[in-house]
Amino acid sequence: MTDEDVPFERLFDLRDLGRAGAELRIEADEAQRARIAAWADIAAVKSFAADVTLRRHSASNFSLDADLVAEIVQQCVVTLAPVESRIALPIHRQMHLTQNLRHRGEVIELADGAGDDDAPEEIDSLDYDLAAPLLEEFALAIDPYPRASGVEFAAPEEAQPKPESPFAVLKALKDRG
């Protein structure tokens, strides 16, 4: 995702974050929701809001917890009728400032059994875009094949039986002679 692709940003200066943390609400306005819909390739975004909690754990370690709620409209993959759905999901991110880590030689230890998804997000600046993780999780939560209620996909029936393969005809000739 490049900067030109981002439908909206909400920058937060992590230098301003105290030990008590910060709580804020991020809500996309009408123009931003239209850009999000175009970015996500869906018909419309009726609402997009998140309650975000930021915490500082050390000079270079931060966490973000958010509850994202969005209402969207997509086209049914069968009938093309509008399909409304609600996305509600919790988001958790751990961030580590890489500049400080490089200068100190600090090593990040992961818990036993931690996978790639458990690795902290490395950030290069204390100016952090709070909208980025919200948009990433939102895009992953969208149903790629939405269907209107009660609609089932039925494959078209074959009108005529398949013609006999030329190789089957040759084999039948060989078997006769």
Q: Are 21 and 54 in contact (CB under 8 A)?
A: yes
Backbone phi, psi, residue 137, to 5°: -65, -35
More confident residue, 101 or 108: 108
The label of the residue with tokens 């030109």 reads: 4
Q: Render 97-120 in DSSP notation, one character per residue.
A: EHHHHHHHT--PPPPTT--GGGSP
Q: Give the mean model confidence (pLDDT) for residues 114-121.
A: 66
Summarize pLDDT for 72-94 with one digit per residue, the tens: 999 999 889 999 999 999 999 99
More confident residue, 144 or 158: 144
Confidence of residue 160 (pLDDT cuts 50, 70, 90): low
Summarize pLDDT for 22-61 with one digit per residue, the tens: 999 999 999 999 999 999 999 999 999 999 999 999 888 9
> Which residues are registered as beta bridge partners of 87?
70
